């Protein structure tokens, strides 16, 4: 059983272009993600950056220089990009989905989830109840491939259930169709009620869409770097937000796109099923 962490990354972000190369401390966002994934490499986790073909020249050069493995695929059909990046894996292997705008995935929770999945069977699992930007998703390869297969209806009279937002956000089709898949929310602390778990992470935003997000992430990292905890996790962030709520105020007004949102640039492209 193999686990491959695939990080989707591109330079052509409409709100903050080239954000994945922005520095936080002495490392770029992509380097922070790779550094954290190094911590789960002993569990058999491989790391691969799935970049947009349109970004290929600059991002390929950067990743190659940093000795980070990469593959290039569709600019906007991220599902297709993931399937290509998992092409050599078996159906029973797993893909760990991370995104290039989340520099601080909680590696401790991810490690616990990987260990759990080595002994328990699920199609899709995710680290639940974490601050925005710290989560990870783990998808069995045959479940990932099944989404693409559903986009190719054998009966031409039928309409494919796969929409543009499913191609852009990769796992949303699974979440929208829990009757088709065995799904596990891997909770941070089952002792908390679900409502209580949501309340304690409310207002904490560690994903990067705009400049204000970048500033917050820089402040947070600087705080933990001084403490000698560069790989801080969700529990440390939750406590810090209690002690220093002002650290998380600057990006409260940033609007998070919905799971049904689609990059406006895809509207000018012909619709193609994932392969």
3-state secondary structure 27-57: EEHHHHHHHHHHCCHHHCEEEEEEEEHHHHH
In a domain, 216, yes or no: no
**What token pair was written down for 90?**
């078996």
Q: What is the mean pLDDT of the chain?
A: 89
User: Looking at the domain assignment, is residue 12 inside a domain?
Assistant: yes
Residue 269 has pLDDT above 60, yes or no: no
Strand partners, 139: 95, 124
pLDDT band at 103 (very low <50, low <70, confident <90, very high): very high
Sign of the Cα pseudo-torsion (5, 49, 23, 66, in order): positive
Q: Which residues on neighbouring strands pair with residue 185, listed in sequence order?
A: 126
164 by Cβ neighbours in 10 Å (0-12 / 13-18 / 19+) ranks as middle
- Among 118-122, 138-142, 167-171, 181-185, which is the least confidently predicted range? 167-171
Asked whether residue 176 is domain-assigned, the answer is yes
Is residue 126 within 8 Å of 185, Cβ to Cβ? yes
Q: Is the pLDDT of residue 271 over 50?
A: no
Which parts of 100-253 are beta strand (E)? Answer: 124-128, 137-140, 183-187
Distances 77 to 14, 136, 207, 221, 271 between C-alpha atoms, Å: 16, 20, 21, 32, 9
DSSP β-bridge partners for residue 44: none
Which of residues 169 and 36 earns the better pLDDT score?
Answer: 36
Q: How many domains does the chain have?
A: 1
Least confident range from 6-10, 74-78, 110-114, 208-212: namely 74-78
CATH number where 8 lies? 3.90.550.10
pTM listed for this prediction: 0.90
**What is the band of 42 on the pLDDT scale with cuts at 50, 70, 90?**
very high
210 within a domain of the structure (yes/no): no
User: What does the CA dihedral 91, 54, 65, 232 come to, rounded to 10 degrees?
Assistant: -60
Task: Look at residue 19 and tell me if it is in a domain.
Answer: yes
In a domain, residue 74? The reply is yes
Range of the domain at 161: 3-191
207 in any annotated domain: no
Is residue 184 situated within a structural domain? yes
């Amino acid at each position: 059983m193999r686990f491959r962490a695939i990080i989707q990354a591109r330079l052509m972000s409409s709100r903050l272009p080239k954000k994945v190369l922005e520095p936080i401390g002495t490392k770029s966002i992509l380097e922070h993600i790779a550094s954290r994934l190094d911590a789960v490499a002993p569990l058999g986790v491989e790391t691969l950056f799935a970049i947009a073909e349109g970004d290929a020249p600059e991002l390929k050069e950067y990743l190659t220089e940093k000795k980070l493995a990469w593959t290039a695929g569709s600019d906007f059909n991220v599902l297709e990009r993931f399937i290509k990046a998992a092409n050599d894996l078996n159906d029973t292997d797993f893909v760990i989905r991370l995104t290039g705008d989340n520099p601080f995935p909680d590696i401790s929770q991810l490690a616990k989830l990987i260990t759990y999945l080595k002994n328990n069977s699920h199609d899709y699992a995710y680290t639940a109840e974490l601050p925005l930007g710290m989560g990870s998703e783990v998808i069995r390869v045959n479940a990932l491939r099944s989404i693409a297969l559903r986009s190719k209806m054998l009966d031409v009279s039928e309409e494919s259930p796969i929409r543009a937002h499913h191609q852009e956000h990769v796992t949303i089709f699974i979440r929208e169709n829990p009757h088709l898949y065995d799904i596990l929310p891997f909770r941070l602390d089952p002792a908390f009620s679900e409502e209580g778990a949501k309340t304690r992470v409310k207002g904490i935003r560690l994903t990067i869409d705009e400049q204000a997000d970048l500033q917050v992430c820089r402040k947070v990292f600087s705080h933990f770097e001084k403490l000698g905890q560069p790989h801080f996790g969700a529990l440390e962030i939750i406590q810090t937000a209690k002690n220093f709520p002002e650290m998380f105020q600057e990006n409260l007004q940033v609007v998070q796109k919905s799971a049904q949102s689609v990059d406006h640039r895809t509207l000018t492209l012909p619709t193609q099923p994932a392969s």
